[in-house]
Amino acid sequence: MGKYDNLLKLIFQEPKSMNIKFREFASYLKSVGFSEKKGSGSRFKYKHDSLDYPIVLHFHSRGDTLKVYEIDMIREALTAVGIEQNGDKK
């Protein structure tokens, strides 16, 4: 089992988990080829070469867990770059 397998299970599980930590997920995105760019305020943009759009995430200082709408964007982007629930590329 890889370092990020449990994280991917949380991202793709239904109902959506409210326990996904921003920093842990940011680390995962970088490990699969996303580049991070600091946006305005506490926003971060993650761009992948095979995506036409960035994932924009907001670091919430009072709780560093991802919001439901962010999980939806992440699922869509990971699927678009070919990453499946088990971490394999299509």
pLDDT in the model for residue 1: 45
Q: Which domains does the chain have, with CATH numbers?
A: 5-80 (3.30.920.30)
Give, to the nearest 10 degrees, the angle between helix 5-12 and helix 68-80: 110
Span 46-61, pLDDT tens digits: 999 999 999 998 887 7
Measuring CA to CA, which residue among 45, 43, 61 is closest to residue 53?
A: 45
Whether the model clears a pTM of 0.95, i.e. scores above it, the answer is: no
Measuring CA to CA, which residue among 49, 58, 41 is closest to residue 77?
A: 49
Span 14-58, pLDDT tens digits: 988 888 888 889 999 999 999 999 988 888 999 999 999 999 988
pLDDT band of residue 89 (cuts 50, 70, 90) is low
Give the whole-angstrom CA distance, residue 7 versus residue 3: 8
**HEC letters along 4-48:** CHHHHHHHHCCCCCCCCEHHHHHHHHHHCCCEEEECCCCEEEEEC
How many beta carbons lie within 10 A of that of residue 24, not counting itself? 16
Give the whole-angstrom CA distance, residue 49 versus residue 62: 32
